[in-house]
Chain A
Amino acid sequence: MDKALQIFTDVYFNSTKPHLVVFSILYIIGQWKMLTKSGVKGFWSLVPCAREYQFARCANRENDGRAASVLDLCTMACVALSYVFKDPYILIFIVVLVISLDIALFMVHIRIYGGIIDVYNAKRSWMILWLFLPTRVIPALVWGYSKAYQPRMKADDIRTALDRILSSENAEVMDTGLTINLKQRAVWDFFHKKPLLQDIHMYIPQGHMVLLLGGSGVGKTTFVNAINGYEKGDAEIILNGRNIYKDYRHMLYECGYVPQQELMRSKDTVYHTLADAALMRLPVDTPPKVRKERIEEVMDILGLTPARNTLVQRMSGGQKKRLSIAMELISNPSLFILDEPDSGLDGVMAKELMEELRHVADTGKIVIVITHTPDRVIDCFDDVIVLAKDSTRTGRLAFYGSVDDARKFFECDKMEQIIKKINTTAEGGEGLADSFIERYPEVKNAG
């Protein structure tokens, strides 16, 4: 067993042979140029682990890149451990682990190299060369340095011309209402910053009910999470004169967020669910009598009084939505955000629900609603926010204004047609997002 172990450890951990070093250097040289061709900085090819991810980005395989980087990092950690621990049991464990990691890495590499072959529009037979280190040098150098091989798409971090064109003019901060000045909401995705939302500035007055429109994956939920401070961005959000980000611990009670799913304990009754919400969300010095009155009031507003002792699991879809809204409404928030509250409801129920929300807005609250079926309830809304993905797949403001102005701006009668216009052609849309994003500041400044 010791001999077998020795062979394995030699192969895996002590195999730094001069010719392999030369191949690795040549591969790095070729990869540097390939990264540059795809708009990624070439120095990444020198950074172990990170280069896997950056190269996968060029292959339009980000997820595989992430996996490859992690696997590579784990393998390196195992190799390092093999120098520290010399006990046969630990070495056996490390060797088994490294073999498993290598198998996984090989599989991930097949996907990444498949992606790079697609991006370079090359023949599948190149795959044989890509799979192994000595032969991998050939395609890396040829594709990197030959002008005949050019990538179809770029993974560039360089922003589009929209960045220069767009006004980043901040919305004026008012004492009442909601002022949104969101410069950027980005996430660090492994080794690069990925902007999800960019340059969204607006002011929503009190008592307005606002429709938030946008195609799938444009960042509607990210936007509302950034507004109520749940996922902070590079932004300044002022609600009734108070900065939500700076005073989050208190302001979270001023912002009600109703998620898409009914997230409640199914074996609890309506009253208990609301009583718990009231205990958690009302000020601690609220007298029990006032608390109970508030529960009764909210149940009354949302038509839940007849179901007060019903278990959540026995309620209809519409009732569950109402209860979910009631849980947030109980604290009487100034800003009320609802993520697809009408999903799964028929037209009549959706209309009833939106009318109830309209009443809430009429009491001086700001109500922002995300919905994918806006036309059946459009009469309830004052304003429309339209978010669209630009050519670099970043969510941007394509429009904010009244419902009528939206119809004029997009030259269509129905809100659902707006979605079709701004969606990409791959999503079955007309792919006009960039032009609307570009035009909106001009129209806004002119107006």
Chain B
Amino acid sequence: MQVEKRYRGRISQIPVCLGKMLRMFFYQNDWKVLPLSAAVAGLVGIVIRHRIFINMEGTLMSGLAVTSVCLWNGCFNSIQAICREREIVKREHRGGMHITSYIMSHMIYQALICAMQTAIILFVFRYIGVRFPEHSIFERNFLIEYFISLFLITYAADMMSLFISTLCRSTTTAMTVMPVVLILQLVFSGGMITLPKILDPLSDYFISNTGFKLIAAEADYNDLELTTAWSAVEQIKNNEISGTVSVGQLADIINNSKSATMQSVKSVQILGNAGETAGLTIGDLVAELSEDNPDAANLRKKEIPYKTSVGDLLEIAGESNVRSYVVKSTSRSAQRAAYDYNAGNVIGYWLKLAAYSLFFAVLAVIFLEFIDKDKR
């Protein structure tokens, strides 16, 4: 009786395919993506180092930049990976190679590359002077958590590009498609461009959107300050303001103000014509001019012309108080539940990115299974 020969199955073919890929990493210069990711991280790091994790607007802008770096790295890792050797894959498939083994080995190989790139990015950021927060949802080093987040964004983009690579018949087509995909990812990231209402729900299905939310959550965005409004106020501090104010209004301001400047104004002695003191202070005078005093009603209505600056007004009202009010109220309005730093959000985004990766890998398998149907 003839004994049936057994050949390599799906699992046992993975190390063979992986071995080829690892050899190509060294010999076909696939390692070039590593210094490239260091260069990109360096360029972006210089721009974001004094912005990220410091305030809301800086974190938002930097978050988009970091997401873009991850997307860029992921896309470039694998966009040509399959289309450049499509004919070879076809021959190997014909010779017994399973497409699932081939894609699985790509998944492992690309995961290694993405992990190395993420480590390089974090190293470069740290070296450049990005100050990472101390917090961590798992009570471990924040960097580990941040590594996982950046890795998953990069890996999801990598798997998406791997899928695109299965669709494209040539490297030229793949490289033409890639910028379009990257632009779409950036448009739908939700970081910069406000989308029309009808398109907004679509952004939930983009890696960039999930990645951006994850980066914002990791930075504890909702706990940061929005300083844009206060910065705008500071810029107009020297602007002059002129107009009229009634005696009543002026008296009320002085009366109600608790600022140190105003307190010192209140304690100033009023001198007589001959320079003698009458034991009367400005505080006493404005108290006399209060709303409760019917005798002062006419005097309260009297208009006094004034000429001052925004800075002086802020000083009168108490600059730190005004700053605190402006920053707190604008920050509150900028907070979003999606950017909240909690385990639910972070793990949710991780799972979503992992699901994207798996989804694109499955699609890559399905589409590559039709490789035999390619026209000769």
Could you give, for residues 278-311 of chain A, a 1 whenever the CB lies within 8 Å of some chain B CB and a 0 otherwise?
0111111100000000000000000000000001
B27: chain A residues within 8 A (beta carbon): 267-268, 311
- Once A89-B199, A253-B5, A280-B96 are accepted as A-B contacts, the answer to whether A265 and B28 lie under 8 Å apart by CB is yes
Whether, in the assembled complex, A43 has its beta carbon less than 8 Å from a beta carbon of chain B, the answer is no
When the two chains form their complex, are residues A280 and B16 in contact, meaning their CB atoms are under 8 A apart?
Answer: yes
Distance of B127 from chain A, by nearest CB (Å): 33
When the two chains form their complex, are residues A89 and B13 in contact, meaning their CB atoms are under 8 A apart?
Answer: no
A272: chain B residues within 8 A (beta carbon): 23
Distance of B135 from chain A, by nearest CB (Å): 41
B20: chain A residues within 8 A (beta carbon): 265, 268, 276
Whether, in the assembled complex, B32 has its beta carbon less than 8 Å from a beta carbon of chain A, the answer is no
B:200-250 near A, CB below 8 Å: none
B92: chain A residues within 8 A (beta carbon): 280
Distance of B111 from chain A, by nearest CB (Å): 21
CA distance A284 to B8 in the complex (A): 5
Taking CB as reference atom, which chain B residue is nearest A258? B91
Q: How many A-B residue pairs have CB under 8 A?
A: 70
A284 contact from B12, B28, B91, B199, Cβ within 8 A:
B12
Whether, in the assembled complex, B7 has its beta carbon less than 8 Å from a beta carbon of chain A, the answer is yes
Chain A interface size band reads 20 to 34
Whether, in the assembled complex, A315 has its beta carbon less than 8 Å from a beta carbon of chain B, the answer is no
B198 contact from A89, A257, A265, A281, Cβ within 8 A:
A89
Whether, in the assembled complex, B97 has its beta carbon less than 8 Å from a beta carbon of chain A, the answer is yes
- Once A265-B88, A267-B27, A285-B6 are accepted as A-B contacts, the answer to whether A277 and B196 lie under 8 Å apart by CB is no
CA distance A283 to B7 in the complex (A): 4
B:1-48 near A, CB below 8 Å: 4-9, 12-13, 16, 19-20, 23-24, 27-28
Distance of A46 from chain B, by nearest CB (Å): 30
When the two chains form their complex, are residues A280 and B95 in contact, meaning their CB atoms are under 8 A apart?
Answer: yes
B94 contact from A257, A279, A285, Cβ within 8 A:
A257
B96 contact from A265, A281, A311, Cβ within 8 A:
A281
Taking CB as reference atom, which chain A residue is nearest B16? A279
When the two chains form their complex, are residues B96 and A263 in contact, meaning their CB atoms are under 8 A apart?
Answer: no
A283: chain B residues within 8 A (beta carbon): 5-7
When the two chains form their complex, are residues B91 and A259 in contact, meaning their CB atoms are under 8 A apart?
Answer: yes
Distance of B94 from chain A, by nearest CB (Å): 6
When the two chains form their complex, are residues B7 and A284 in contact, meaning their CB atoms are under 8 A apart?
Answer: yes
Distance of A420 from chain B, by nearest CB (Å): 25
A:127-165 near B, CB below 8 Å: none
What are 29 A-B pairs with beta-carbon distances under 8 A? A89-B196, A89-B198, A221-B376, A230-B372, A250-B4, A253-B96, A257-B94, A263-B87, A263-B88, A263-B91, A265-B88, A267-B28, A268-B23, A272-B23, A276-B16, A276-B20, A277-B95, A279-B8, A279-B16, A280-B16, A280-B92, A281-B7, A281-B95, A282-B7, A283-B6, A284-B12, A285-B6, A311-B27, A328-B95
Please give the residue numbers on chain B whose beta carbons come within 8 Å of chain A beta carbons, in ascending order.
Answer: 4-9, 12-13, 16, 19-20, 23-24, 27-28, 85, 87-88, 90-92, 94-97, 196, 198-199, 372, 376
